[in-house]
Amino acid sequence: GSLKGAIGDLDRVERVVKLLGMVRCTPDFGNTPAVMNGASDLLVAVFGERGRHARSAVGMYELPLGMPVEVEMVVALRD
C-alpha cells in the first residue's frame, strides 16, 4: 500500500525513521545500496530533512510476485 493511503495526509509524517530495501538479485551482486539510492533521494526530496533516515539494503534470491524491489519504511507520525 501507499503511505498516503495509510495515513491520509503526508503532512502527518514527523520523520522517516528507517528504510529497508530488498533487492531481487543474483548471489554475486554486491551493489544493493546503489539500487536503493533512488528511494532515499526521493524521500529527502519530498520531506526535506524529515526524510533523512537510517537504511538497510539486502539482496534476495526471490521476492513476491516477481517484484524487483520491495521497500519497507518506518515513519514517525504527528498526532
What CATH number has the domain bearing residue 48?
3.30.1330.40
Domain count, the chain: 1
% the chain with pLDDT above 70: 100
Give the helix, strand, coil percentages of the chain, each rounded to 5: 40, 35, 25
Strand, helix or coil at 35? helix
Residue 60 has pLDDT above 80, yes or no: yes
Q: Read off the C-alpha cell for 25.
A: 538479485
Asked whether 51 and 16 are in contact (CB, 8 A), the reply is yes
% the chain with pLDDT above 90: 94
Residue 64 has what pLDDT? 96
Tens digit of each residue's pLDDT (9 = 90 or more) over 2-33? 899 999 999 999 999 999 999 999 999 999 99
Residue 47 has what pLDDT? 96
Which structural domain, as residue segments, surrounds residue 52? 3-77
In this prediction the pTM is 0.86
Q: Read off the C-alpha cell for 11.
A: 503532512
